[in-house]
Amino acid sequence: MRYRHLHTVTLGLGIVVLIDVLRVFLPSVITIFGQAATTPAELLGAFALGWFVLALAFPALLRRLGTRPVTLVAAVALAGLRLALTASPGGRAQLWLATAGLVAGLLWLAGTAAGTDRPVPGLASGLALGAVVHAGLGTYDMVWRGGWAGWAGSVVLVGLFLAGTARPAPPVEPGGGARAWLLAGPALLLTGMVALSPALAETGSSYRRGPGDGLASSAAAGDVSALFGWAVAVFLFAALARPPRGYARLLGPLALVLGAVLFAAGEPGWLGPAVLLTAAGVGACLSLAGAAAPIAAPATATAVPDPAGASDASASVEPSAPAGVAAPAVSASAGAPGRPARSSLTAVLGMLLFAVAAVGYYAAYDLGYPNAAVPVAVAGLVAVVALAPALRGGKAAPARAASWAWTGPVAAVSGLVALLATNLPAAEVAPLRPGSPPAEVRVVAYNVRMGFGLDGRFDPDGLARVVAAERPDVVLLSEVDRGWLLNGGHDTLTLLSARLRMPYVFAPAADPLWGDAVLSRFPVESARSERLAALGAPTGAQALGVTLDLGGDARLAVVATHLQPPPGREPVAQARAVAQFALGYADGRPLVVAGDLNTEPGAPAYAEFTRAGLVDAFAAARPLFTSPADDPREQIDHVLVSPGMVAGGPVAPRSTASDHLPVAVTLALPPTATG
């Protein structure tokens, strides 16, 4: 049993390492191979999926070269490439290191599946551990950090993984291996996207604290850790406990589908229930799949060896044990003919399902088709696979999942650890409350590209340094990602808010996890958002209006937006809608409208703002190019103000922390800036 527990721990650690690699590979496909959306979506999708399709050949490779040596080599390669990603400077080197790491990880997974017929404890512990570490690091993972702390954590992780891999695998026992391995990829998707996502827990909590109207504001860390801790505990309890019998086995799959539906609905208030229901449902389905092996008839003879002498296909069946005596384990080279190959193939197929669903879900934001059905379809597939024996009317073997005697304490302790480890940062500084209004306000607008620089590395520290150098009072952010799995599952807004020590108001655009934000040193008096018509544009857009209390009776209206032009056209209709909304929202108060407007001075969409009476704060500094950041040729990031405000010090400081340059300006408030 000592070796079996070690094998479970090693599998869990390997899952954590593989998740680390995926957190680099997936955004690298978008930011490096995708070249800021200039690469055709079809080519980008083919590149991302091709490596998972290639892995379908790995079971045959394992049979030809031997499972054990290939798995060891793949584990060493996976560990080495994981460390290399921390050292990578980004760019093409990062893309190809992450791709090689993915291939090595899939090969390791296929080999591990061939020798592991009861994977659920290892899979569940790996998914939970990866999520807890991700939360403990504030969603800013070790693979991106570098420095002594990042390197120390990375070396310890891969060292423990390799130490466990070097030990021989335990004997293979008959079990629900193939079916459980098929769920590995879908479970990774659903836990990373919903059930065990600390960024989603943070976002859901921030909506509960928001000013209403579907907006979010800085959440307390205690709320986040409580929700996330419960999710981890519920997931582990459901995955490790003995699965229920009869109609009770339907509860887990039903909870999973309901949780996926709540998430797909896109209602911010439903994110918390979606997290808990999906966590319980994924865990329960893994438990059902892991215990769903058909009962084999007792045998008293030894089967005839495979004529080809292939160890994976031979089966030496022991006589049935007397009642009350545990049957001996089947040797690692035994079992039903083809079982190791089936487990290996289903593990790879499960990861292919992960890739197809992930790419299909997020590609919708570029291609414009509805994607809400994707997580629901994956949840339905998981439910069907978990319930397959019952649906066929077959008799399942007695479950050998963990007993309730220790599963409950383990899940409770894990949830407590998750609660204590959750380290999502918060902007702890209180907003300024000046006794008299300031004479001027420094404003920065920045398209942060989900936190990824031109080198393709996730670097919230770099973004924060660029913004902080301008000493802003108000910051307007575009392309804010709060937990998209395809981008690594980071809560970019919370990370930036904490580093700048500025609370935020967030408005969703594409979905509850992606949109625009306003960070301010002044108190927020009120806020409102208006959804903009897409008109053929691939990604949703909105206008976020925030009223800031500058002290006394002075108020400043700020509107943050990111216009999304239809293919080949100007975002004229959206610009007109934003101008109308902004003027109505300001209601005569001083007004600032800023963001990535995707239009240049003199263009038809830009003219909608000037026609409405707004003034270009950068008129005296034109041309002021802002995109692309490494060779700026376009003026598409703007700050527009109401008449009477005087602009000074307009700049677009050079930086490669995003694919856009930030724009900053100091605005002198008119003497009549009172409400």
pLDDT in tens, 563-605: 998 888 899 999 999 999 999 999 999 999 999 999 999 999 9
Sign of CA dihedral 601, 606, 612, 614: negative
Q: Identify the pLDDT of residue 3.
A: 52
* Poorest-pLDDT segment among 256-265, 312-321, 640-649: 312-321
Q: Which amino acid is at 533?
A: A
Determine, yes or no, domain membership for 323.
no
Work out the average pLDDT over 118-126: 92
Together in a domain, 528 and 660: yes
Q: 273 with 183, same domain?
A: yes
Give the domain range for residue 392: 2-295+338-421
Q: Based on the domain organization, do 472 and 373 belong to the same domain? A: no
Mean pLDDT of 451-480: 96
| Domain closes at, from 421, 451, 484 | 421
Q: What is the pLDDT of residue 339?
A: 60
pLDDT-based confidence at residue 338 (cuts at 50, 70, 90): low
Supply the pTM of this predicted model: 0.88
Task: Indicate if 176 and 280 belong to the same structural domain.
Answer: yes
> Rounded to whole angstroms, how far apart are CA atoms 623 and 638?
12
Which pLDDT value is given to residue 567? Answer: 80
Q: Are residues 104 and 146 in the same domain?
A: yes
Is residue 426 assigned to a domain?
Answer: no
Looking at 421, 449, 474, which one is the last position of a domain? Answer: 421
- The DSSP element (H or E) to which 82 belongs, if any, is helix 67-87
Greater confidence, 274 or 37? 274
pLDDT at 320: 40
Confidence (pLDDT) at 7:
85
Tens of pLDDT, residues 617-667: 999 999 999 999 999 999 999 999 999 999 999 999 999 999 999 999 999
Quick check: 232 pLDDT over 50? yes
Is the domain of 381 the same as that of 513? no
Look at residue 35 and tell me whether its pLDDT is greater than 90. no
Same domain, 396 and 484: no
Whether 526 and 603 map to the same domain: the answer is: yes
Same domain? For 357 and 483 the reply is no
pLDDT surpassing 50 at residue 294: no
Q: Which of 370, 388, 421 is the last residue of a domain?
A: 421
Percent of the chain topping pLDDT 90: 65
**Residue 528 belongs to some domain of the structure:** yes
CATH of the domain at 553: 3.60.10.10
Rg (the chain; Cα; Å): 27
pLDDT at 15 over 90: yes
Q: Is residue 334 predicted with pLDDT exceeding 50? A: no
Residue 373 and residue 468 in one domain: no
Give the model's pLDDT for residue 105. Answer: 98
Q: What is the pLDDT of residues 606-625, one digit of tens each?
A: 999 999 999 999 999 999 99
> Would the pLDDT of 180 be above 60?
yes
**Averaged over 64-87, what is the pLDDT?**
95
The edge-to-edge listing of strands for the beta sheet with 524-532 is 524-532, 541-551, 554-562, 591-596, 637-641, 615-616
566 found inside a domain: yes
590: phi > 0 → left, psi -120 to 50 → alpha, else beta; which?
Answer: beta
Using the predicted structure, report yes or no on whether residue 407 has a pLDDT greater than 80: no
Q: Is the pLDDT of residue 550 over 80?
A: yes
pLDDT value for 650:
95
Do residues 228 and 164 both lie within one domain? yes
Q: Is 434 within the bounds of a domain?
A: no
Same structural domain, 221 and 102 = yes
Quick one: pLDDT at residue 328? Answer: 41
Residue bearing the bigger pLDDT, 206 or 428? 206
The tally of domains found in the chain comes to 2
Mean pLDDT of 458-474: 96
Pairing of strands 663-668, 646-651: antiparallel
- Does any domain span residue 320? no
Q: Which residues contact 430 (CB under 8 A, 6 or more apart)?
A: none
Structure letter (DSSP) for residue 117: S
Structural domain contains residue 355: yes
> What's the CA gap between 273 and 151, in Å, rounded?
36
What pLDDT is attached to residue 2? Answer: 52
- Quote the pLDDT of residue 432: 64
Specify the CATH number for the domain of residue 389: 1.20.1250
Q: Is residue 288 part of a domain?
A: yes
